[in-house]
Chains A and B, each alone.
Chain A
């Protein structure tokens, strides 16, 4: 008969779920700036000005954190970005 998880393990799981995650978009010299801006507007609902600001950050600094929150939603955003062929990863927020 399998043992029920200990309280300590449940707490670890809860903490992992509560830990905020960053959705990070990375620079790719092939992707057009206009395309990246449009994808930010479509996926994250950013107004144009904010989308362009993040696009410039990706272009100039190599990456931009475009969203922070729960892991599950972060994965959904990363999957959508991959669907648009943007380079995107998720990482634990500091």
Chain B
């Protein structure tokens, strides 16, 4: 995979193999926090962490809907950009062109996906650092997904002003 600036307004992810393409397509679904559970709890925090139950309740009622819309807006930008993924099955791999103004949304969407996945799967810090072995190939692949999104997030952050 190569990440290159095509011009001032376009960043290209080129030579994408099928695994990378699949992981890119999973960003939006992976970022879904659901209505409850550990991913929802991580993405929708409360400001006093239980010290002021009334304030936390108000937060859930009045602030959480705004946050939900904010998170959804970023995911919609990513979903729209992914429609331009082209060249799958081609010998040189697929290419995805991302407008530079959309990179901010990509950074947020990738972060959201990483946080939601880690919360849902219950990855420990030791597992994420590779200090303990992972149980099972599926779990290892999911952690690879988290790290792949982290790699993209770092690359996009470097492109932001």
Contacts and interface: CB of A to CB of B under 8 A. Distances in A.
A29 B122 CA distance: 12
Given A35-B157, A79-B63, A89-B47, 15 more contacts: A29-B128, A30-B114, A30-B115, A31-B111, A32-B153, A32-B157, A38-B157, A79-B67, A82-B44, A83-B67, A84-B111, A85-B111, A87-B45, A90-B48, A91-B48
B154 interface: yes
Contacts, number: 54
Q: Say what secondary structure dominates the interface of chain A.
A: mixed
A31 to B, nearest CB: 7
B153 A85 contact: no
Interface in A68-94: 75, 78-79, 82-85, 87-91
Interface residues on A, range: 20 to 34
B27 to A, nearest CB: 15
A90 B150 contact: no
Nearest to A29: B125
Identify the interface centre among A30, A34, A75: most chain B CB within 10 Å of its CB: A30
Contacts of B108: 84-85
Interface string B130-161: 00000000000000001000100110010010
A31 B33 CA distance: 17
B19 interface: no
A28 interface: yes
Interface of A: 28-32, 34-35, 38, 75, 78-79, 82-85, 87-91
A90 B150 CA distance: 28
Which of A28, A31, A75, A85 has the largest number of chain B CB atoms within 10 A?
Answer: A85
A86 B7 CA distance: 32
B154 A38 contact: no
A74 B111 CA distance: 24
A32 B48 contact: no
B51 A83 contact: no
Contact of A83 (B48, B70, B154): B70
